Structure 1
């Protein structure tokens, strides 16, 4: 596995795109769980940049199919700039969310960096949800259910063109893993664009090892791997601290194997940690588990492989 460059932690304390309050406390919960110390203990150069600032969450109903669109745009523009700065300095940005709408800004910055560096971007989207809603099919208007659609060019131009042009990504550069909740209208869109989804039934049928082998196939020296990790990817029996719990997710060992195989690829270049909601957690156990899994993502493995 290649030596990883230095790491920057960037907190984004907002639940502006979510349907429940509390993800704004996610960055601090991850710090309390020791994310910086755990990565530093692995010999990595870790700097905590503190928290970004943005609009207060007004908690208003949707307007024209979107909740809080101007504030979501403002937060994502700030995220895009912060992530882009870290990448430009040769660092691995770890975005501490915050709700998953923030991946629009994060991945837009990563995609621009990859274009400038001649790298091919692959996004691993670890999530219970496909996040491919639009204003016409969303049941809620919550933009944390729309980031993949926006990145693929389906959504308000303020978000689809955040980086100056659309789409930021084509669907063939995204691998979704752990999916088990897709809205009816969203399902048609996902099929129409041909999104590469490894849902829980497929994981049950063939196992996490084969899923990750397929998802990571053909990665080489010119590839940049971005992992967008929504904590509700995990089964709520082990990770209750999220706003949208969906039973039947990966077990602890399945999640560990997923992370270890990503680490083995040697291509990890950026990471989002999203939707941790301490208000719904039990003694910060979800944050502690998340730190454990992120350690595996950065090279910790079991027994003699460490």
Structure 2
């Protein structure tokens, strides 16, 4: 297992985004990895993405865990999984937000709110995945804060959306997204998918999120039914000791269930 630490914060629109650098360091330390890679971030996101791509190309054949930093660090890990698994790949996006804006529709102009759309083929120059992920092979999980343009894209492009903490509904949505293939899943987790009353160390909190035990149950259900191609954990802005105390065992458990038995390498 390889952990790829990317302390990128310039893709975030949060006023406290610089905390993401320390958050990436702390997250990486929570992952029981065999190999550890620190990606030095640049001021521009395109250069940092290139460095992440290079780091992933050198990683071993096991599970990789990308830790951010902002959600924009997921561009290259998901793109690498798409190249490896082709149309078998289904992306499960645990997040409070859809991250489906374009530069034209984004209220903030921040890339962390565009990265999933960039993975489907539309985004800022130099930050678009190729080949793209088919939007019909994307499942939003726990998303509760969509901008109007994002909601329109979800409806028109066939993106699946499971709002409730329902493992059966989520795994059925993944199976449907996979169609006739044997799906392999990339699991993205923005920690603002958690309820801010329980976990507040994020830059863009949104009410009515999942409890930690619900998140773990959902990811466990996914990993028990499908192979996991990769795991990303992002957007930790450390601000409260109690949040770090909660996060450490949660991250370890999420990594353990995603590592599973290596089915994604089939």
Same fold (TM over 0.5): yes
Alignment partner of 1:198 is 2:156: no
Q: Would the alpha carbon gap of residues 195 and 141 (structure 1) be closer, same or farther in structure 2, given more than 3 Å must change?
A: same
Note the residue ranges of structure 1 that are not aligned, 5 or more in a row: 1-6, 37-45, 57-70, 300-306
**1:74 corresponds to:** 47
Alignment partner of 1:179 is 2:143: yes
Q: Aligned to 1:231, which of 177, 185, 191?
A: 191
Length, aligned pairs only:
255
Q: Would the alpha carbon gap of residues 107 and 213 (structure 1) be closer, same or farther in structure 2, given more than 3 Å must change?
A: closer
Deviation at 1:49, TM superposition (A): 1.9
Alignment of 1:42-61 (within 5 A): 46-56=33-43
Alignment partner of 1:216 is 2:216: no
Deviations 1:50-85 (A, max 9, x none): 3111214xxxxxxxxxxxxxx111111221222233
Q: Would the alpha carbon gap of residues 174 and 222 (structure 1) be closer, same or farther in structure 2, given more than 3 Å must change?
A: same
| Preserved CA contact (<8 Å) 1:24 1:99 | no
Q: Compute the TM-score of the two structures, normalised by the length of structure 1.
A: 0.76
Q: Secondary structure at the match of 1:215?
A: helix
**1:258 corresponds to:** 218
Q: Would the alpha carbon gap of residues 29 and 146 (structure 1) be closer, same or farther in structure 2, given more than 3 Å must change?
A: same
Q: Would the alpha carbon gap of residues 122 and 281 (structure 1) be closer, same or farther in structure 2, given more than 3 Å must change?
A: farther
Alignment of 1:151-190 (within 5 A): 151-160=119-128, 162=129, 165=130, 167-190=131-154
**1:35 corresponds to:** 31
Q: Would the alpha carbon gap of residues 177 and 242 (structure 1) be closer, same or farther in structure 2, given more than 3 Å must change?
A: same
Q: Would the alpha carbon gap of residues 280 and 184 (structure 1) be closer, same or farther in structure 2, given more than 3 Å must change?
A: farther
Alignment partner of 1:8 is 2:12: no
Q: Secondary structure at the match of 1:284?
A: helix
Task: Give, in whole Å, the separation in 2 of the partners of 1:248 and 1:52.
Answer: 34
Task: Give, in whole Å, the separation in 1 of the partners of 2:240 and 2:121.
Answer: 33
Q: Aligned to 2:108, which of 132, 140, 153?
A: 140
| Preserved CA contact (<8 Å) 2:171 2:225 | no
| Preserved CA contact (<8 Å) 2:79 2:119 | yes
Task: Give, in whole Å, the separation in 2 of the partners of 1:193 and 1:281.
Answer: 41
Deviation at 1:279, TM superposition (A): 3.8
Deviation at 1:283, TM superposition (A): 5.6
| Preserved CA contact (<8 Å) 1:76 1:106 | no
Q: Is the radius of gyration larger for structure 1 or structure 2? A: 1
Task: Give, in whole Å, the separation in 2 of the partners of 1:213 and 1:189.
Answer: 22
Report which stretch shifted further, 22-31 or 286-295: 286-295
Q: Would the alpha carbon gap of residues 222 and 283 (structure 1) be closer, same or farther in structure 2, given more than 3 Å must change?
A: closer
Alignment partner of 1:84 is 2:57: yes
| Preserved CA contact (<8 Å) 1:99 1:144 | yes
Superposed CA RMSD in Å reads 2.4
Note the residue ranges of structure 2 that are not aligned, 5 or more in a row: 261-266
Deviations 1:10-50 (A, max 9, x none): 11111120023211222221244x321xxxxxxxxx32323
**2:80 corresponds to:** 109
